[in-house]
A and B are shown apart, each in its own frame.
Chain A
Amino acid sequence: MSFVEYGDTIKDGDTAIVFLGHESMFPVKVQHGTVTQTKYGVIRHSMDLIGKKYGSKVTCSKGGWVFILHPTPELWTMNLPHRTQILYSTDISIITMMLELKPGSIVCESGTGSGSLSHALIRTVAPTGHLYTVEFHQQRAEKAREEFREHGVEHLVTVTNQDVCKNGFGVSNIADAVFLDIPSPWEAIGHAKSALKAEGGRICSFSPCIEQVQRTCLAMEEYGFTEINTLEILLRVYNVRTISLQIPDLGKAAEDNSSAGFDSSNPSNQGSPCANLQQGTVQFKSGVPLREMVGHTGYLTFATKSLF
């Protein structure tokens, strides 16, 4: 197991994801002789996990079962221990694309935080690229190093414990992209520029407040960045539900009220449009938006360090 390579079977020392069902899951460090408690009972690592195929169904001591999944940066983002506010996969996706990351890219990041974005960045730049991540909080930097070691990616990342606004990224003229998620990104734009390659590169800054964005944009302009573009991306999740609606009785003859008209308008055409003609209901599948959703994470400002 490694976060940058798939393996087929669960091995001692792996970080695996225990999937309990419906978005309920947690990570587990696989170790001989260890047991893990779940609401469905106990999982014995030596017996139930090691040697099994990833994706297998594992029956717990109380008879309930769970699935054991191979870790991915996305599953890690959903399950990692929070030491800070983290970036989620929706923002991470657009950051990765807009920074033009690919295998071989050199990326600078600050702060490391809980390492949610870091894992995704390492995945994308592997096997020939590198991530330089700077975190000003000493324990967080140490914890991140430990996680990267456990996840088999330490050769792809350098964690530095310093203040990026004061001391920069510790590298110059080598980065293809820089990412900033710090309280005052405008103070780090100069350092970001010197970390980027002479031929140019991309930069992204994530800030929750528009006032931060405004100051950052001014700083970017001042340092000669071009193509400055601010955007916001949100995820809309739909629950798939079978809905039945009553047909109002308008006093028409029974035949006219029949399902004929509704049959054809049924979107999924699955042959079960009308469940109960007597009661006059019509059934259909719908993607129902959540009652409440994340309405704001942060503004993402992208820019290009241009050639001249």
Chain B
Amino acid sequence: MEDGSRLGPRICEGDCAVLKRDDVFKAVPVLRRRKIIFEKQWFYLDNAIGHIYGTTFEVTSGGNLQPKQEVEETATETKEAGTDNRNIVDDGKSQKLTHDDIKALKDKGIKGQEIVQQLIENSTTFRDKTEFAQDKYIKKKKKKYEAVITIVKPSTRILSTMYYAREPGKINHLRYDTLAQMLTLGNIRAGNKMIVMETCAGLVLGAVMERMGGYGSIIQMYPGGGPVRAATSCFGFPKLFFDNLHEFPLSKVDSLLSGTFSTETLPSEPEDNVLVEEESNGLTDEKQTALQEGEEESTTEAAMEINQIEEQETTDINAEDVEFKENKEKENVREKQRKQWERRKKLIETAALLREKNADGLIVASKFHPSPLLLTLLEFVAPSRPFVVYCQYKEPLLECYTKLRERGGVINLKLSETWLRNYQVLPDRSHPKLTMSGGGGYLLSGITVVLDKGKSDSSHSQALKMEEPSCKRCKVQDLHC
């Protein structure tokens, strides 16, 4: 094998990695002796540890991973091909190998590649297929019988496409290209002080963190007991990325703005990073009710994880001596107090960061109505900074737009969505793919400006006119000249 140091990072135990097979991704923690099920195959990652990211493995018997050397292209020798499909009849008899034959081949440990070759040889219609159809046939069979996976490093590209394909309900159907727009429109970069309010399992937060590369600071606003960062943990960020990540409860925002903020009453639940392992749970997400259920599901899942940890702790304690247990309990109490004190300290620090009202941008992508969030959180943003709000639906953003116009202090408001189409590109056979996403959600973006609160009514109406339809604006311009 090549010299690894030159070839980039190796897969280490405890890493967050992504399994890839064609266009399908799955994020997994790299652990020894842990069975993983992916794309109807099961295997252990033990053998992958020490290999370089980007390596392709073959799943061999017993669920072992074997690095695959050189993707050899076995050009099918039978270079015979038909001109069209006039002689091909679908009678279900074209394949001479039976289901049992194929199973027997598999059980004998015959490699997927050879099975595909046998299938071709035993197909009575293969020769009559056109060259294009033969390609397609081989590709289809390869996908079915070759047990090959690639292990790659997580990134926003991979995780956002993975979430959109596997669990769109957990990220409010935020399509990856829409997320890409948010990151650009929000001018996310190293050194910014960003406010992020999201309920997309921490995916948007992770994307913002990746783009900031550990420089600058992020304040995550969260609803309920604590921020959900299941997707954030899939990125496998270095620890220092979390040094300047702060969190602040939404329920405290009003009191912070009105000056009555105190740290006496804290949110009850622990706000530790909740590392939820992402298993595809076949979330149905088309119906509104199903979507809400999905939301609850994810929170209960997180809660379950916490319970499990607590249970483990208690069983640990039960195994100890009784005396020791008492000591430990005292220690636990002290530990709890220390943690609570630390949390209070962090909360005070975060409140101070917000009070400066000089954030470099605001990103909102949540299941809540965006209007109250935006109107409140914009208070913390400096003038001449971008903000972006995502909503799965257009109507709440229409209301947002109107309310922002009434409030003033924002310009260049734009309501948009993106349209994304993938293409098949093959010689003489290029065309758009047969299916495409019907919608990836809507964005409202704009730029903050100094809000002069003095002359409220007149300036409001002026600001309102400023971006009305062009016909109305002509009048305003006339007034100006």
Cβ of B384 under 8 Å from chain A: yes
Residue contact A74 to B184, C-beta cutoff 8 Å:
yes
Q: Which of under 10, 10 to 19, 20 to 34, or 35 or more describes the interface residues of A? A: 35 or more
Given contacts A57-B449, A96-B180, contact A39 B55 (CB under 8 A): no
Complex interface: chain A residues within 8 A of B213 (CB): 102-104, 128
Closest 10 CB pairs of A and B: A55-B383, A103-B213, A55-B384, A199-B8, A64-B480, A54-B384, A97-B180, A93-B184, A307-B54, A230-B423
Partner-A contacts on B (CB < 8 A): 6-8, 52, 54-56, 69-71, 155-157, 160, 176-177, 179-181, 183-185, 187, 189-192, 210-215, 358, 360, 382-386, 394-395, 397-399, 401-402, 411-412, 414-425, 427, 430, 442, 447-450, 452, 466-467, 469-470, 473, 477, 480-481
**Chain A residues, CB < 8 A from B360:** 6
Mask of A2-21 contacts with B, CB within 8 angstroms, 1/0: 00111010000000000101
**A4 in contact with B189 (CB, 8 Å):** yes
Q: Is the beta-carbon distance between A103 and B189 smaller than 8 angstroms?
A: yes
The minimal Cβ–Cβ distance linking A308 to chain B, given in whole angstroms, is 7
Residues of B within 8 A of A235 (CB): 416-419
Which residues on B sit within 8 Å (CB–CB) of A287? 394, 397-398, 415, 442
Within 8 Å CB of B180, what residues of A?
A: 93-94, 96-98
Task: With A73-B187, A235-B417 given, name 13 new contacts (CB 8 A).
Answer: A6-B385, A22-B466, A54-B383, A55-B383, A93-B185, A94-B180, A199-B54, A200-B8, A233-B419, A236-B419, A240-B398, A240-B401, A299-B423
Q: How far is the CA of A232 from the CA of B422 in the complex (A)?
A: 6
A124 at the binding interface (Cβ < 8 Å): yes
Q: Residue A92 at the B interface, CB < 8 A?
A: yes
What are 17 sample pairs from A and B whose C-beta atoms fall under 8 A apart?
Answer: A4-B191, A55-B448, A97-B156, A102-B210, A103-B214, A104-B213, A123-B187, A124-B189, A126-B190, A197-B8, A214-B425, A235-B417, A241-B469, A267-B398, A307-B52, A307-B55, A308-B71
Q: Of the candidates A23, A270, A299, A307, which one forms a contact with B399 in the assembled complex, judged by CB atoms under 8 Å apart? A: A270
When distances are taken between beta carbons in the complex, the residues of chain B under 8 Å from A126 are: 189-190
Q: A198 touches which one: B6, B155, B402 (CB < 8 A)?
A: B6
Minimal beta-carbon separation of A298 from chain B (angstroms): 12
Looking at the assembled complex, report how far the CB atom of A125 sits from the nearest CB atom of chain B, in whole angstroms.
Answer: 9
Instruction: Summarize B's interface: helix, strand, loop or mixed.
Output: mixed
Are A229 and B449 touching (Cβ within 8 A)? no
State which of B187, B190, B382, B448 has its C-beta within 8 Å of the C-beta of A74.
B187
When C-beta atoms are compared, the residue in chain A nearest to B424 turns out to be: A230
> Is A89 in contact with chain B by the CB < 8 A criterion?
yes
Which residues of A lie under 8 Å from residue B386 when comparing CB positions? 72, 74
